[in-house]
Structure 1
Amino acid sequence: MSRYQQVAEQIKQQIIAQTWRAGEKIPSVRVNSRNFSVAPSTILQAYQLLESEGWVIAKPQAGYFVAPQLGREQLASKPAESKLIKINDELFEFLKSGSNKDVVPLGSAFPDPSLFPIQTLNRNLASAGRKMSANDLVSVMPPGDDSLRRCIAQRYQQQGISVSPQDIVVTSGALEALNISLQSVTKPGDTVVIESPAFYGALQAIERLNLRAIEVPVSPQSGLCLETLEHVLSTEAVAACWFMANFHNPTTYTQTDTQKTKITALAEQYQVPIIEDDVYGELYFETSKPKPLKAFDDVGNVLLCGSFSKSLCPGYRVGWVVSDKYNEHIQRLQLMSTLSGSAPIQNGIAHFLQHDSFDSHLRKLRKTLQERRDSMLALIHSCFPAGTKVSCPTGGYFLWLELAEHINARHVYECAVEQGATVAYGKLFSTSEHHQSCLRLNYSYPLDTRAKQVIEKMADLVRKSN
């Protein structure tokens, strides 16, 4: 635990003990800098963490005050009740607004397709196709192309994660992998733990399968609330969890190895399977790839879902599930739904992985994404009002903005649409009201003049609303 997290924990315990009561002002940054013998920046980080978790609120020119409703404490003692999800109608409207190719895609869930080696992939697809027999074209039934599964397993092995090709089922994209994984461990009416905010695909899947959800908060600064997770697992009949531990969509947070160990241990203790969405795992900016939850799973409890859509070939729709325990059931579900993925495309990607340098492509891709992240962060810091919080992710291609609480991010989205753009607003990622003032921005596209103008217009709207 870092020093600022230690400070935050001590202040939290003071609030629990009612040293500081709801509505009271806590000591200033300068005062607590002396009290804790740390730099003012450390205290400020601690206060921002406490604010993100609902323990304190910041008042401009006045300081920090104990929140009237202690979000994290209340969630730990009284987690949200399980509920049916109803999001598809609003999500359909949002996705439709971004379908026009002339729209500035700040709200897109997909990376800039120009970043990918499409011509090289097409050559590999053609080369592999020439070698395929007529029988090969119809023989790639679940679990999928053998060469591709071996290539995927080898990449996990290189990361130190023991995965066999026999553990892998190739799917039609990550969304099918996630959906059939969830379906394999639940039945209609079951309760699933999801993050809040969460990738809206999880909300869609839960609604479609007629499941109930309990939301566990994710802080952009500190990740999944493990206290709430443990309370929910110990008090509720939970059939499964759906988590994104690396470059979380939308908050961009990456869980630490310590957090991942705790998450998998809790799931093992309460015998609850985890559906892990790791589609952004290859898009890291630091020296090493962050490990998925699966790397900390000793009992086969984690169903690890991945995809090439974010790292190699958007639109090719090739994903996979890694699971030994649930492998056969997943294959059966795929046979009863999509039957199988595309044989030529699976074979073509395997050919690329065997004969071209995927890692060379990834190095260039990560470098470009990091540069574009920095450009968008600089613009946001220069034009959005003081007090706007924005994540600085160490991978992926999203930024998460937290505006002043009274600002409705849906209005900012409507402003963007008027400017011929789209952004993803907080309500799309949760059934609660906690993220109404948040935005997710896609920084994978070039920050051209038009995109800059849209961001500046949104910033102007936010400034005028303050």
Structure 2
Amino acid sequence: MQKEILYLKIAKILEEQIAAGTLKTGEKLPSIRTVQKIYNVSINTVKQAFLELESKSLITSKPKSGYYVNQSFNTKLGLPTINKLHLSDKEKTPEDLISKVFNTLTNKDFTQLSLGVVDKSMLPITKLNKGVVKVLRNLEDSGTSYETAQGNINLRRNVAKWSFTWDGHLTEDAIVTTSGALNALFYALITVTKPGDTVAIESPVYFGILQMIKSLGLNIIELPTHPVTGVAIEDLKKVLPKIKACCFVTNFNNPIGSCIPEENKKEIVRLLTAHNIPLVEDDLYGDIFFGTKRPKPCKAFDEEGIVMWCGSFSKTLAPGYRVGWVAPGIFKDKLIRHKLFHTMSSPPLHQEVIADFMEHGRYDHHLRTLRNTLYSNYLNFQRTIENYFPENTKISKPQGGFVLWLELDPKIDTAILYDIAIQQNISFAPGRMFTQHDQYNNCMRLNFAVKWDEKVENSLKKLGTLIKQQL
């Protein structure tokens, strides 16, 4: 009984510190051993106290890092609204907004919350540079020769080995390398569709995917996407007779952050296999998870080879290297022919550098550090938005990736707000960029993979003030 009282007493003290803001959201708690020494109790008593706080979602554990203050599930802000499946035929193309946002990207005075790229301070640039020197010294012809269309053997081997993180059983022969994930999606789609076919995608969806699909002469059905669980099985069933393929970001969708539950992934693969409909799976963010383990992609449940698993290192390691891959399943030979026709082969140098980086365990170590930093940033963003944005703001709760989706008061047009914000040197991505229809006008996407500092915090506060002024 005494032990129970002690752990509850310690838990209550820490809970009061969290409530008072002494321990701030995203802040690391003292270690179990430190708390043990402070209160002169056993290790097990401290562990019980931490478990009590975890059960209330006040703290969260990060493997090999410790415990952090977590109020992400107790936020007073609600989740964004799910859109409707039956939309009008009226389109409102977002090209104007896309051009406007990209025009600000080179301005270093801006707080850039618009582009979905990890800040260079989070990337292992020095180690990659050493890898370039090493590879140039050892690579035949210093990387100037053509490779086979399937891509670099060392990179394919390492991507195949890496699939063990989600219980994958891929071989190097199952992988084709590409120039980033969008290029992988492009090859996958031209392999399984022809102009005039219809593709089902999530909504909202990354504007690059939207524009790429439309450029191929394909029709699009946008499926309603729940901010936590993604596409609903019932909505997918309704459109099966109309579609030739699906293209889903199954883990930590950009921009809404949803992660399709494992059981739903199994059912999606079962349904699509039964109807002979390929799934082009964008698993770009799967390695950036905040929980204890990586979520599986749909590819993990693919027995017939209809899932074309796509990914890249652009969001985790080196955006400018443009190194990605696709595991095309039964469509491999046809996809390789398309790649051969379009680009002949991929540049070998950066593929070799990344293969070398993965070979010696450095990628795994880098990801652990990156995930901890991004999770801390997420909590800082969430806390600041909750404190300084209007109370009726709705916010996504991603369990991975590095983008936040905000839904503001219906009176706010984020395209107009964007023009006002850039006068204050703040850039974000207006919601209408992520659809082909006239919707999400009061929504925005924020990238939290930035270096968290006073400038970023003040910019978020300023953005909240601008929204309140518009109301």
Q: Does residue 435 of the first structure (1) align with residue 443 of the second (2)?
A: no
Task: Write out per-residue CA displacement over residues 258-313 of structure 1, whole angstroms, 9 at most, x where no aligned residue.
Answer: 12112222211221111111111111111100111111222111111100111112
8 Å CA contact 2:228–2:259 kept in 1: the answer is no
Task: Write out per-residue CA displacement over residues 376-417 of structure 1, whole angstroms, 9 at most, x where no aligned residue.
Answer: 111101001112111221111111111112211112222221
Q: Which residue of 2 aligns with 1:14?
A: none
Q: Which residue of 1 aligns with 2:41?
A: none
Q: What one-letter code is carried by the residue in structure 2 that aligns with 1:203?
A: L
What's the CA shift for 1:418? 1.1
1:162 is paired with a residue whose SS is: coil
In structure 2, relative to structure 1, the CA distance for the partners of 1:159 and 1:225 (3 Å cut) is: closer
Task: Write out per-residue CA displacement over residues 330-383 of structure 1, whole angstroms, 9 at most, x where no aligned residue.
Answer: 212112222222111111111111135211111111111111111111110100
8 Å CA contact 1:128–1:347 kept in 2: the answer is yes
8 Å CA contact 1:240–1:275 kept in 2: the answer is yes
Q: Which residue of 2 aligns with 1:293?
A: 298
Which structure has more relative contact order (CA 8 Å, sep 6+)? It is: 2
Q: Does residue 309 of the first structure (1) align with residue 314 of the second (2)?
A: yes
1:138 is paired with a residue whose SS is: coil
- Paired residue for 1:182, among 175, 179, 189? 189
Paired with 1:179 and 1:306, the residues of 2 have a C-alpha distance of 12
- Paired residue for 2:277, among 254, 272, 276? 272
Q: Which residue of 2 aligns with 1:415?
A: 420
What's the CA shift for 1:438? 0.8
1:107 is paired with a residue whose SS is: coil
- Paired residue for 2:135, among 117, 128, 142? 128
8 Å CA contact 1:412–1:458 kept in 2: the answer is no
Q: Does residue 208 of the first structure (1) align with residue 215 of the second (2)?
A: yes
8 Å CA contact 1:84–1:213 kept in 2: the answer is no
Q: Which residue of 1 aligns with 2:251?
A: 246
Paired with 1:431 and 1:364, the residues of 2 have a C-alpha distance of 37
Q: Does residue 199 of the first structure (1) align with residue 206 of the second (2)?
A: yes
Q: Which residue of 2 aligns with 1:343?
A: 348
Paired with 2:215 and 2:456, the residues of 1 have a C-alpha distance of 35
1:282 is paired with a residue whose SS is: coil
8 Å CA contact 1:268–1:299 kept in 2: the answer is yes
Sequence identity percentage: 36
Q: TM-score, normalised by structure 2?
A: 0.80
- Paired residue for 1:321, among 309, 322, 326? 326
What's the CA shift for 1:233? 0.8
8 Å CA contact 2:182–2:208 kept in 1: the answer is yes
Alignment of 1:52-67 (within 5 A): 52-53=81-82
Q: Which residue of 1 aligns with 2:338?
A: 333
Task: Write out per-residue CA displacement over residues 227-264 of structure 1, whole angstroms, 9 at most, x where no aligned residue.
Answer: 22110113x2x111110010110001111111211222
Paired with 2:431 and 2:447, the residues of 1 have a C-alpha distance of 14
Q: Which residue of 2 aligns with 1:68?
A: none
Alignment of 1:312-391 (within 5 A): 312-391=317-396
Q: Does residue 260 of the first structure (1) align with residue 289 of the second (2)?
A: no
Paired with 2:92 and 2:196, the residues of 1 have a C-alpha distance of 12
Total equivalences in the alignment: 397
Paired with 1:307 and 1:321, the residues of 2 have a C-alpha distance of 9
Q: What one-letter code is carried by the residue in structure 2 that aligns with 1:199?
A: Y
2:287 is paired with a residue whose SS is: coil
Q: Which residue of 2 aligns with 1:229?
A: 236
In structure 2, relative to structure 1, the CA distance for the partners of 1:243 and 1:81 (3 Å cut) is: farther
Q: Which residue of 2 aligns with 1:58?
A: none
Q: What one-letter code is carried by the residue in structure 2 that aligns with 1:52?
A: T
What's the CA shift for 1:158? 4.2
Which runs of 5 or more structure 1 residues have no equivalent in the other structure? 1-43, 55-70
8 Å CA contact 1:145–1:347 kept in 2: the answer is yes
8 Å CA contact 1:85–1:212 kept in 2: the answer is no
Task: Write out per-residue CA displacement over residues 179-199 of structure 1, whole angstroms, 9 at most, x where no aligned residue.
Answer: 111111111111111111011
Q: What one-letter code is carried by the residue in structure 1 that aligns with 2:424?
A: Q
Q: TM-score, normalised by structure 1?
A: 0.81
Q: Which residue of 1 aligns with 2:53?
A: none
1:97 is paired with a residue whose SS is: coil
Q: Which residue of 1 aligns with 2:147?
A: 140
Paired with 1:394 and 1:135, the residues of 2 have a C-alpha distance of 41
8 Å CA contact 1:145–1:346 kept in 2: the answer is yes
Q: Which moved more, 1:172-181 or 1:413-422?
A: 413-422
8 Å CA contact 1:83–1:213 kept in 2: the answer is no
8 Å CA contact 1:392–1:399 kept in 2: the answer is yes
Paired with 1:222 and 1:294, the residues of 2 have a C-alpha distance of 18
What's the CA shift for 1:461? 2.3
What's the CA shift for 1:89? 4.5
Paired with 1:83 and 1:173, the residues of 2 have a C-alpha distance of 32
1:326 is paired with a residue whose SS is: helix
Q: What one-letter code is carried by the residue in structure 2 that aligns with 1:231?
A: K
2:391 is paired with a residue whose SS is: coil
Backbone CA RMSD of aligned residues: 2.2
8 Å CA contact 2:136–2:143 kept in 1: the answer is no
Q: Which residue of 1 aligns with 2:464?
A: 459
- Paired residue for 2:289, among 281, 284, 287? 284
Q: Does residue 152 of the first structure (1) align with residue 181 of the second (2)?
A: no
What's the CA shift for 1:136? 5.7
In structure 2, relative to structure 1, the CA distance for the partners of 1:141 and 1:83 (3 Å cut) is: farther
Paired with 1:304 and 1:88, the residues of 2 have a C-alpha distance of 28
Which runs of 5 or more structure 2 residues have no equivalent in the other structure? 1-73
1:155 is paired with a residue whose SS is: helix
In structure 2, relative to structure 1, the CA distance for the partners of 1:81 and 1:138 (3 Å cut) is: farther
Q: Which residue of 1 aligns with 2:226?
A: 219
8 Å CA contact 2:252–2:401 kept in 1: the answer is yes
Paired with 1:184 and 1:83, the residues of 2 have a C-alpha distance of 29
